[in-house]
A and B are shown apart, each in its own frame.
Chain A
Amino acid sequence: MTRTASFRDPGGSVSVSKDRVVRTILPAGRANLKACLDSPAARRFVDSGTLISTQPIDEITVEHPRIPFASYPHEWPAVMLHAAAQLTLDLCSALLEEGRGLKDATPANILFRGPGPVFVDVLSFEDRDPHDAIWLADAQFARTFLIPLLLHRRTGCAIHEFFLTRRDGIAPEDAVRRLPTPRRWFPPDLGLVTIPSRAARFESEGLYRPRRTRDAGEARFVLGHHFRSLRKKLDALTPRPGSSAWSNYEAACPSYTKEQQDAKRRFVEQAIQEIRPSRVLDVGANNGEFSLMAAAARASVVSIDSDPETIAALWRTGNTSGADILPLVVDFARPTPAAGWRCREHAGFLERAEGYFDCALALAVAHHLMVTDRIPLPEIFETLADLTTRWLIIEYVGPQDPMFRRLARGRDALFNWYSREAFDECAGRVFEVVRSIDIPSSERAIYLLRRKS
């Protein structure tokens, strides 16, 4: 299936199929493409892997390599949005030196390859009018990067949720109501939100005309100062490592003794070494212990969890260690829906994931789905079978397990049908058991399953 991934830019559009990403360049976009291809700074970014490479096919089409797994800002924790903002500013600053710039500044221009951001919109490049001292994309940069990061910093809100319903971020007029009163009168809140929200009253037609300086040096000086100022704001809004009920889950609610944990680790590690998966989905990744294990076995891993703080911590780990892990804030019980115009701009998580992975990990997660989210066990197996083409490593947690009972909160009658035999029967409908291990002195077991053809 071919999907049109971009249609707003008058310069061109992108079609994404299973193996190819082809960009059609319209007459209005030719100068933008030339600005990118001619730019020495752009070449440096391509070499460093932070700008997508471009292969011209003919006069009106170019091809890009496909980023393995597309993700969207409504699946990123704040720290990934911050990394995307940094890359956008890095590009702007480098391009300014050669009289070029970016005509837009939105997280939609960025995808992640593992934990690393990659700028993918080559039609964003432009040759700047040397006498233009105003960066028109500044407001978009503020709405889609700085203001969401500011709100995250001040209120702790989960900013990925904003992007599901707001393509173009949060305007200052909207953000000002969400900021605590005294704080909004101090920088950077004052210049990002409070003053712009008041200044909006002076909107007039004359506003939307660029001010040309007589001296090109002045325009460059002004823009250089502006980008440094944006950098300072961005640095001040760097998300701090936070904590949540899930970020220290294993330590706070230990489900295993050391011996049991070692048995689980050994089984998963051996299974991964044996099956050598190339694309792994880790459902309910939490601290990413098993994602890291799969990445160490050279798999490309997508780790999902509903908790932004644990995903942010995993992104930091992956970014520092260079592990090929793409951590995303996705609740498996309520996966990211399709979004955008006619729900066709951004595919839902399940659509992107279906048949993409050759191995899924569902460790200590099925009982949460069953008990907390009330998802029927056969549905859980069927969904996992849709996502993996071959392997599933899953953990069985019995009804007498302390964690199961804790989650059930007295609703034992709801699960009186549930047992190891019932688990095996549900698994057996779509998978065959390769082997399993009982975790000693517990009501838990780990399975390596192969998908039935």
Chain B
Amino acid sequence: MGVLKGNVERASCSDTLFAGVLALLFVGALPLSAYTDPGSGLLIWQMAGAFFVGCVYQLRKFLIRLRKRK
């Protein structure tokens, strides 16, 4: 389950890309309290999804602003 150094070294190109996306996701983090096990892979996958849906939201917001300016 844990991230072992050896595992990271053996990671493929796609894994490296994945880790890069995760690094972006972790920016601006705060501690939390919850008693339910948040999982590991499922949490990462949810975060990745949230990142991309968040990008869609920001893009939509940008386009709406742009349309208003015109």
Which residues of A pack against B, CB within 8 Å? Answer: 8-10, 103-106, 133-140, 142-143, 168, 171-173, 191, 195-204, 206-213, 215, 217-218, 221-222, 225-226, 229
B40-70 contacts to A (CB < 8 Å) = 40-50, 53-54, 57-58, 61
A-B contact pairs, 25 of them (CB 8 A): A8-B35, A9-B35, A103-B35, A104-B36, A134-B43, A135-B46, A136-B36, A168-B37, A173-B1, A191-B45, A195-B41, A197-B41, A199-B44, A202-B40, A203-B2, A203-B41, A208-B32, A210-B32, A211-B26, A211-B27, A211-B28, A211-B29, A212-B30, A218-B58, A226-B49
Contact A103 B34 (CB under 8 A): yes
Contact A211 B35 (CB under 8 A): no
Beyond A10-B35, A210-B30, A211-B29, 19 additional pairs, beta carbon < 8 A: A8-B35, A103-B36, A105-B36, A134-B46, A134-B50, A136-B32, A139-B36, A142-B39, A196-B45, A202-B44, A207-B22, A208-B32, A208-B43, A211-B47, A215-B61, A217-B57, A222-B50, A225-B53, A226-B49
A106, A202, A209: the one within 8 Å of B29 (CB): A209
CB contacts (< 8 Å) of B36 on chain A: these are 103-106, 136-137, 139-140
B1-31 contacts to A (CB < 8 Å) = 1-3, 7-8, 11, 15, 18-19, 22, 25-31
A-B pairs with lowest CB-CB distance, top 9: A139-B39, A196-B41, A209-B29, A200-B41, A139-B42, A203-B40, A199-B41, A199-B44, A104-B36
Tell me the smallest distance from the CB of B55 to a CB of chain A, in Å.
10
Which residues of B pack against A, CB within 8 Å? Answer: 1-3, 7-8, 11, 15, 18-19, 22, 25-32, 34-50, 53-54, 57-58, 61
Contact B29 A210 (CB under 8 A): yes
Contact B29 A226 (CB under 8 A): no
Contact A201 B7 (CB under 8 A): yes
Contact A133 B30 (CB under 8 A): no
CB contacts (< 8 Å) of B31 on chain A: these are 209
CB contacts (< 8 Å) of B47 on chain A: these are 134, 207, 211
Tell me the smallest distance from the CB of B47 to a CB of chain A, in Å.
6
Tell me the smallest distance from the CB of A193 to a CB of chain B, in Å.
9
A136, A197, A218: the one within 8 Å of B57 (CB): A218
Contact A218 B54 (CB under 8 A): yes
Tell me the smallest distance from the CB of B7 to a CB of chain A, in Å.
5
Taken together as a complex, chains A and B put the C-alpha atoms of A420 and B22 apart, in Å, by 73
CB contacts (< 8 Å) of A226 on chain B: these are 46, 49-50, 53
Contact A133 B50 (CB under 8 A): yes
CB contacts (< 8 Å) of B29 on chain A: these are 206, 209-212
A133, A199, A229: the one within 8 Å of B40 (CB): A199
Tell me the smallest distance from the CB of A401 to a CB of chain B, in Å.
53
Contact B53 A207 (CB under 8 A): no
Tell me the smallest distance from the CB of B24 to a CB of chain A, in Å.
10
Closest to A10 in B: B35
Contact A172 B32 (CB under 8 A): no
Taken together as a complex, chains A and B put the C-alpha atoms of A186 and B29 apart, in Å, by 32
Contact B39 A221 (CB under 8 A): no
Closest to A217 in B: B57
Q: Which among A172, A191, A199 has the greatest number of chain B C-beta atoms within 10 A?
A: A199
Tell me the smallest distance from the CB of A55 to a CB of chain B, in Å.
25
Contact B18 A199 (CB under 8 A): yes
Q: Which among B15, B41, B54 has the greatest number of chain A C-beta atoms within 10 A?
A: B41
Contact A139 B32 (CB under 8 A): no
CB contacts (< 8 Å) of A200 on chain B: these are 1, 40-41, 44
- Given A206-B26, A226-B46, also A172-B3 (CB < 8 A): no
Contact B35 A213 (CB under 8 A): no
Contact A195 B45 (CB under 8 A): yes
Tell me the smallest distance from the CB of A10 to a CB of chain B, in Å.
6
Tell me the smallest distance from the CB of B33 to a CB of chain A, in Å.
9
Contact B42 A196 (CB under 8 A): yes
Contact B43 A138 (CB under 8 A): yes
Contact B49 A229 (CB under 8 A): yes
- Given A202-B44, A226-B46, also A213-B1 (CB < 8 A): no
Contact A222 B42 (CB under 8 A): no
CB contacts (< 8 Å) of B40 on chain A: these are 196, 199-200, 202-203, 207
